[in-house]
Structure 1
Amino acid sequence: MHVIEVHGRELEGVKAEAQFAVLPLGSVEYHGPHSPLGTDIILAQGFAEHVAAELRPLIYPTVSFTSCPGKTRHYPGTISVRPSVYTEYLTDIVEGICELGLRNIVLLNAHDANMGPSRTVAEAVTGRYPDASFLLINWWQMVSLEFAEQEGYFKGTTGRGHGGPYEMSAVKAFRPDLVTVQPTDPDLTSKPALASLPYILVEGTPQGWNGYTGQISQTSFEAGTAIVEEASRNMNRLIRSWLENRKRKDGEDG
């Protein structure tokens, strides 16, 4: 159910029915000549629609404007909100959801730069609402890094780079009309990982970068469909486990 379609007289019934709120997080950001500026909005909304109905979500509109990293903010079409403004804005939104009476909130993210603010907001709001629980989901982490290559869709392009074949194939699965890789669009090769362990590297102009990265000629609807199906399956499994854990906790507290 979408919250924007709920009438005022229906609120009490909806609150009783919904198990959790879903707040999709996107961006308006350059993703290369082959990709729409609303890439992250399409992905956030698309995966929100793939949350299983039997889990009883209440879906909120996508937060579309956010902070964008230095490496994309100067490319045409990118709209970047100051991080402090975005953090305060997101705080007001999730506190409004809590004030409605919902305490289980999924922040369903499709934009890398939203990860830090999302965690910051969740930590702050749970201080004011101790009974609240936030599940932060980055859709691209719902599929193993090697999945698409192991399935035979990509070759030598396992990364999930910005505007690359992994991300844009997923967009193509939702909106095949909006991803158009042309023969003149160059494939780009990013530098190898610095280590096998997790790390964060922030650069204004990374190697193998022109507002996007990756072997974009490998983008395909078939790969995107497989990625979206796998991500959705794992996402719903994660949400179901979270809700079951919440019920157990509520039972113990009761």
Structure 2
Amino acid sequence: MKNNLVRNMTWQEYHSKVEDYILILPVGSTEQHGPHLPLGVDAIISERYSQAIAEKVRAVIAPTITYGYKSQPASGGGPLFPGTVDLNGTTLTSLIYDVLKEFVDDGWKNILIMSGHYENDAFLAEAADLLLRNQKEAFPKILLSNWWDNISIELMPKIFDEVEFKGWAMEHAAITETSMMMYFTPELVHEDLITDDGIENPPTYQRFPPSKTLIPSSGCLYTGKSSTAEKGRLIVEDVTNNIILFLKKEFALHEV
């Protein structure tokens, strides 16, 4: 897999991939994920999905963007926890715009942005739109996606077999992320610290400055109990296959 990572390539090796490969840009964040998961969950998951895709189609993986847009209290715990490092929206948009422009200037025609942080998507979309909005040709083409929009509805009862699904915002550091981390990097999961903490009644609005009492002291928004590596495997295989389906529709892919 190391041969698929841009950071491990010489410039000649990198340049040789432009015509026949797709480029995947993983984008995550650095934010608290409760007492049982590391700060880099979103970046780790987006990079590991990129690697899973690259095992099936010709793809190279750009260096992961490990900082993201501001964590909101009811979808990530907010700025009240040490270790959460946020970017302003204009900063993230400019960063992604500059990176994408460099890749397009290098000749890449097929680019996938793989997002692992719930709050990032609007700013990733803004960057791609600003770069290509006046383009008349079909290519270069940039696709933006994430893992949570690509889980088959048929799989959901197997993942939420013991507790109710309460929406993706509440899944921060909960069953899906914990299960995927158990599958991807079990050595980084402190299973003995998984809690039943959560928000009893999630607000339907945002408050500025954020409430210091809305989020449990653990930083968890919903229970992580019933998470398993097997659930993580099911999610990863399902999401990877669904992403490859739309990549085949949009790009001329070469399978490995």
Residue 164 of structure 1: which of 158, 169, 174 is its match? 174
Secondary structure, in 3 states, of the residue corresponding to 1:227?
A: helix
Q: CA–CA distance in 2 between the matches of 1:52 and 1:10?
A: 16
Secondary structure, in 3 states, of the residue corresponding to 2:251?
A: helix
Aligned equivalent of 1:117? 123
Describe the shift of the 1:208–1:92 C-alpha distance in structure 2 as closer, same or farther (beyond 3 A).
same
Number of matched pairs:
237
8 Å contact kept, 1:187–1:217: no
Q: Which moved more, 1:57-66 or 1:210-219?
A: 210-219
Residue identity in the other structure for 1:77: G
Aligned equivalent of 1:225? 233
Q: CA–CA distance in 2 between the matches of 1:243 and 1:184?
A: 40
Aligned equivalent of 2:44? 42
Q: CA–CA distance in 2 between the matches of 1:182 and 1:53?
A: 32
For 1:43-192, what aligned pairs fall within 5 Å after superposition? Answer: 43-71=45-73, 72-127=78-133, 129-130=135-136, 131-144=139-152, 147-148=155-156, 150-151=157-158, 154-158=161-165, 159-160=167-168, 161-182=171-192, 185-188=195-198, 190-191=200-201
Secondary structure, in 3 states, of the residue corresponding to 1:137?
A: strand
> RCO (CA 8 Å, sep 6+): is it higher in 1 or 2?
2
Describe the shift of the 1:189–1:86 C-alpha distance in structure 2 as closer, same or farther (beyond 3 A).
closer
> Identity over the aligned pairs, expressed in percent?
24
1:152 is displaced (CA, Å) by 6.1
Q: CA–CA distance in 2 between the matches of 1:17 and 1:232?
A: 20
Secondary structure, in 3 states, of the residue corresponding to 2:87?
A: coil
8 Å contact kept, 1:143–1:227: yes
Q: CA–CA distance in 2 between the matches of 1:54 and 1:37?
A: 29
Q: CA–CA distance in 1 between the matches of 2:43 and 2:159?
A: 28
C-alpha distance after superposition, 1:194-242 (max 9, x if no partner): 7xxxxxx545459974322122112211211111111111111121122
Secondary structure, in 3 states, of the residue corresponding to 2:192?
A: coil
Q: CA–CA distance in 2 between the matches of 1:152 and 1:128?
A: 42
Q: CA–CA distance in 2 between the matches of 1:117 and 1:152?
A: 29
Q: CA–CA distance in 1 between the matches of 2:66 and 2:202?
A: 32
Residue identity in the other structure for 2:10: H
8 Å contact kept, 2:159–2:176: no
C-alpha distance after superposition, 1:118-141 (max 9, x if no partner): 110111011355432111111121
Secondary structure, in 3 states, of the residue corresponding to 1:84?
A: helix
8 Å contact kept, 1:188–1:208: no
1:16 is displaced (CA, Å) by 2.4
Residue identity in the other structure for 1:233: N
Q: Which moved more, 1:8-17 or 1:205-214?
A: 205-214
1:186 is displaced (CA, Å) by 3.2
8 Å contact kept, 2:24–2:111: yes
1:90 is displaced (CA, Å) by 1.0
* Structure 2, unpaired ranges of 5+: none
1:53 is displaced (CA, Å) by 3.9
Aligned equivalent of 1:214? 222
Residue identity in the other structure for 2:161: F
1:9 is displaced (CA, Å) by 3.0
8 Å contact kept, 1:153–1:223: no
Q: Which moved more, 1:80-89 or 1:2-11?
A: 2-11
* Structure 1, unpaired ranges of 5+: 195-200, 247-254
Q: Is 1:13 the equivalent of 2:16? A: yes
8 Å contact kept, 2:194–2:225: no
Secondary structure, in 3 states, of the residue corresponding to 1:15?
A: coil
Describe the shift of the 1:176–1:155 C-alpha distance in structure 2 as closer, same or farther (beyond 3 A).
same
Q: CA–CA distance in 1 between the matches of 2:118 and 2:81?
A: 17
Residue identity in the other structure for 1:4: R
